[in-house]
Amino acid sequence: MNNPFAQLTSVERRFLAGVAVALFLVLNIFFVWPRFGDWKKTNWRWENSNRTLKMFQDEIAQKSAYEAKLKDLESQGGAFVPPEDQSAEFLRAVQSQAAQSGVTIVATTRQPARTNQFFLEQIQSARVTAGEPQLVDFLYKLGAGNSLIRVRELSVQPDVSRMALSASIKLVASYQKKAPAARPAPAAAPATATKPATPTAKKP
């Protein structure tokens, strides 16, 4: 059987070869070249997955340490939230820290307490004067450690002499509310004594 390609002229062969090359280039442009970046993306995803997996494995390895810390915090829960009867110490703690930090309390105002089923929230507004380092030390040490006193609002401006700062501060502290006393069970009503029936006298 004769080879049909051998029967083509040289011009036809060149034309056919050009068409094949053009078809090859078109197929590469649409189907091969756009995939050149896939290998780089795949490597990036692989490395990212390995980093994420290592991070999760490290956290899982610390599970026992987290559980021990959680038990320790749960056992100390009462120390972090003082009871309701210590709310009277709120203003005293603020005044004591102000004296230690060199802050002058000009006026204080106790606002109505807020309460819910578990906590009692005391709010104390104060107007103070102090230098900048003393005021910063006062505000920092009020909330340091296990203290539940925190600053909710703060307004600062120079005082009249322009030598110190005048600040209006709203302080908030939370206390553990006392559990309501259990109501006594209602006493059972005494049983009513049944009177014996009186015999009716017979008429003669």
Taking only the tens place, the pLDDT of each residue in 119-153 is: 778 888 999 999 999 999 998 888 776 667 888 88
pLDDT of residue 81: 47
pLDDT tens digits for 10-53? 777 788 888 888 888 888 888 777 777 777 888 888 898 989 99
Q: How far apart are CA 127 and CA 168, in angstroms?
A: 5
pLDDT of residue 167: 92
3-state helix vs strand vs coil in the chain, percent to 5: 50, 25, 30
pLDDT of residue 64: 86
pLDDT of residue 20: 87
Task: Answer with the residue of higher pLDDT: 1 or 54.
Answer: 54
Q: How far apart are the first and last CA of the chain?
A: 155
Residue 128's nearest CA partner among 183, 87, 155, 166 is 166
> How much is the average pLDDT of 179-186?
56
pLDDT of residue 79: 46
CB 67 within 8 A of CB 92: no
> How much is the average pLDDT of 48-61?
89
Residue 197 has pLDDT above 80, yes or no: no
Q: What DSSP string describes 31-46?
A: IIGGGTTHHHHHHHHH
Non-local CB neighbours of 125 within 8 Å, separated by 6+ positions: 108, 109, 110, 111, 168, 169, 170, 171
Phi, psi of 195 (to 5 degrees): -75, 140
Non-local CB neighbours of 94 within 8 Å, separated by 6+ positions: 105, 108, 124, 126, 142, 149, 171
Most confident of 70-79, 99-108, 112-121, 171-180: 99-108
Residue 202's pLDDT band, with cuts at 50, 70 and 90, is: low
The first and second tokens of residue 66, run together, are 């987290």
Non-local CB neighbours of 118 within 8 Å, separated by 6+ positions: 176, 177
CB 121 within 8 A of CB 171: no
Strands laid side by side in the 165-176 sheet? 104-115, 119-130, 165-176, 150-158
pLDDT tens digits for 89-128? 788 888 888 999 999 999 888 877 777 667 778 888 999 9
pLDDT of residue 181: 55
Residue 171's nearest CA partner among 124, 129, 136, 135 is 124
Residue 88 has pLDDT above 50, yes or no: yes
Task: Answer with the residue of higher pLDDT: 11 or 198.
Answer: 11
Positive or negative: CA dihedral 135, 141, 144, 148: negative
Beta strands in the chain (DSSP E): 104-115, 119-130, 150-158, 165-176
